Amino acid sequence: MHLATIRLDHSTRAVRRDGDRLVDLGYPDVGAYFAAGTPDERAGASYPLDGADFAPVVPHPSKVICVGHNYQNHIKEMGREMPAYPTLFTKFADTLTGAFDDIEKPAETDALDWEVELVVVIGQEVRRADETQAKAAIAGFTVMNDISVRDWQFRTVEWTQGKIWEASTPVGPYLVTPDEVGGLAPALEVSTTVDGQVMQRDDTGTLLFDPVMLVQYVSTIITLRPGDLIATGTPAGVGHARDPKVYLVGGEEVTAAVEGIGACVNRIVKA
């Protein structure tokens, strides 16, 4: 099943893809649909897929947890040691944007970078999950491009200020349920292209910490609620690790894709 949140005039709606139509689920967004316990669809409208305006899959998650240093090749390119535990940082709802929205390059940086990520979407509340509970809590997966402002990120040893720029992080367009992508620890190709040039390519089977483990780990710290997002990290190929470094300057089309789930396709525009 493919779920999404679309924009309609001044509101949003949770929808399920059915061929070339998007069927209204009766809730304002996918997060609200999961919070209601994924009830049966209410009889209602459907909308054409063609021309749909996709909001972030979950526009207002209670939390967005991101994992750094989770692909071996990326850890090596950044000059880090293999971590014993997940490296976590957070984003805010205001950081998120739609899968096909333009992304404004902040005027304050000349070091804008890309990071494709597989994202876990939580479907039910869970705290201190064991393996069985963690599996049950995963509603599905989506795509994120963790656009990073590298010069601000590395001003200090703590990364947050380089990761939370307004409307900089596309998420979507769809949440895809685990049954359609090979289960809860799928081996899916992830890639980033910039103006058609492949910059990142790996597969999620090489994650150090898989989705189930991450739900267990994060839920030990804090309650995970329906619609919460866990971004599982990015593979090698980021612009900051290249020699010479390569950054987004404005005008590029960046595609962050995960096999079987979809892609965020965004134009970088100058402020």
Which pLDDT tens digit goes with each residue over 223-262?
Answer: 999 999 999 999 999 999 999 999 999 999 999 999 999 9
DSSP H helix total and E strand total for the chain:
5, 19
Position 43 scores a pLDDT of 64
pLDDT in tens, 172-190: 999 999 999 999 988 999 9
Domain positions in the chain are: 56-270
Extract the tokens encoding 129.
Answer: 């999950």
User: Pseudo-torsion of CA 231, 12, 257, 3, nearest 10°?
Assistant: 90
Q: Is the pLDDT of residue 22 over 80?
A: yes
Position 36 scores a pLDDT of 95
Residue ranges of E strands in the chain: 2-8, 11-18, 21-24, 46-48, 64-68, 87-91, 96-97, 103-105, 112-113, 116-122, 138-145, 148-149, 169-170, 175-176, 189-194, 197-203, 229-231, 253-258, 262-270
Query: What is the residue whose two structure tokens read 């995963």?
Result: 138
| Distance between CA atoms of residues 58 and 252, nearest Å | 26
Instruction: Give residue 77's pLDDT band: very low, low, confident or very high (50, 70, 90).
Output: confident
Position 81 scores a pLDDT of 80
Q: Is the pLDDT of residue 170 over 90?
A: yes
Any idea which architecture 56-270 has in CATH? Alpha-Beta Complex (3.90)
pLDDT over 90 percentage in the chain? 88
Asked if 112 and 146 touch (Cβ cutoff 8 Å), the reply is: no
pLDDT in tens, 147-163: 999 999 999 999 999 99
Asked if 33 and 61 touch (Cβ cutoff 8 Å), the reply is: no
pLDDT in tens, 95-128: 999 999 999 999 999 999 999 999 999 999 999 9
Position 44 scores a pLDDT of 75
Q: Mean pLDDT across the chain, nearest whole number? A: 95
